[in-house]
Amino acid sequence: MIYITGDTHGEHGRFLGDIMPGEKTWGKDDYLIICGDFGYVFNGLPKENKFLDNLSARPYTILFVDGNHENFDLLYQYPVEDWKGGKIHKVRDNIFHLMRGQVFDIEGKKIFTMGGAYSTDKHMRHEGLSWWPQEMPNDSEYKEAIKNLKAHNHAVDYIISHTAPENVMLSSHSPRCVNEHVLNNFFEWIRESTSYKRWYFGHLHMDKDLWFNQTALWFAVRIIGGDKDETE
């Protein structure tokens, strides 16, 4: 089974049973995907590594796209590997960063991943300590996404990102972040040009099904391929 939830922000409590119901029943054939702002690869301190080791003892596999609140210098030090058709950073044996612009085949489902977003609180953060310029995709990552979508004839089952397409941001996010505009418009192009069953993203800190088969997640845990994933 593939489960999916929103931003975890490095909060240890997110893996408690009352917040993530059913987590203790998940086994080696299950996956949990986090829609960015994973946050458990952030400072590299012993306490953080101990918690990652604790997560690595879980029987299921934890997958995440990157958000804007990640330590990209630290994240990019992990080895890049090929996994189920796409590229990952392997953080632990069962904790993988799903890199930008990839298409994975997980349980027979084609899943396109594209992390990245802009930090509206950048002015309150410090570069290299709590904010990193790699938070937004670069040209090569956009090209990688286009290449891989083309290779799959612009048809996937699911799309997972951190921020949302322009149509959502215009109506749901205030004040409007113009610095993220290029990524939101890129996602809008994907929405218009690519066939998909449902698009999941975090970033907006809400749990809500939206138009065009798009779902914003924060604390809710959904099953990919469940009833709500059917095309409306």
pLDDT digits (tens, 9 = 90+) for 83-136: 999 999 999 999 999 999 999 999 999 999 999 999 988 889 999 888 899 999
Q: Which of 7-21, 56-70, 135-149, 179-193 has the lowest mean pLDDT?
A: 7-21
Residue 174, pLDDT score: 54
Alpha helices in the chain (DSSP H): 46-56, 72-75, 139-151, 166-172, 181-193
Confidence label for 178 from pLDDT (cuts 50, 70 and 90): confident
Domain chopping of the chain, boundaries: 2-229
- Average pLDDT over the chain reads 94
The verdict on domain 2-229 having CATH code 3.30.230 is no
- Cα 231 to chain centroid, rounded: 21
- Judged against a pLDDT cut of 60, whether residue 195 lies above it is answered with yes
The arithmetic mean of pLDDT across residues 56-72, rounded, is 97
Residue 175, pLDDT score: 57
Residue 196, pLDDT score: 98
Residue 194, pLDDT score: 98
Peptide bond into 21 cis (omega under 30): no
Considering only residues 21 and 117, tell me which one the structure prediction assigns the higher pLDDT. 117
Confidence label for 230 from pLDDT (cuts 50, 70 and 90): low
- Judged against a pLDDT cut of 80, whether residue 177 lies above it is answered with no
Quick: pLDDT tens for 144-176. 999 999 999 999 999 999 999 999 998 876 556
Within a 13 Å sphere around the CA of 97, how many CA atoms are in the beta-carbon half?
Answer: 26
Helix axes 181-193, 139-151, angle to 10 degrees: 10
Considering only residues 3 and 128, tell me which one the structure prediction assigns the higher pLDDT. 3
Copy the structure tokens of residue 32.
């949990």
Q: How far apart are CA 228 and CA 213, in angstroms?
A: 9
Alpha helices in 20-153 (DSSP H): 46-56, 72-75, 139-151
Match 């089974």 to its residue by tokens.
1
- Judged against a pLDDT cut of 50, whether residue 198 lies above it is answered with yes
> Is the backbone of residue 107 left (phi > 0), alpha (psi -120 to 50) or beta?
left
Q: How far apart are CA 109 and CA 126, in angstroms?
A: 39
Which among 210, 230, 207 has a CA at the least distance from the CA of 219?
207
Alpha helices in 99-212 (DSSP H): 139-151, 166-172, 181-193
Which of 199-210 are b and which e, b meaning 16 or more Cβ less than 10 Å from the residue's Cβ? bbbbbbeeeeeb
Task: Answer for the pair 101, 142: CB distance below 8 angstroms, yes or no.
Answer: yes
**CB neighbourhood size of 68 (10 A):** 25
- Judged against a pLDDT cut of 80, whether residue 232 lies above it is answered with no
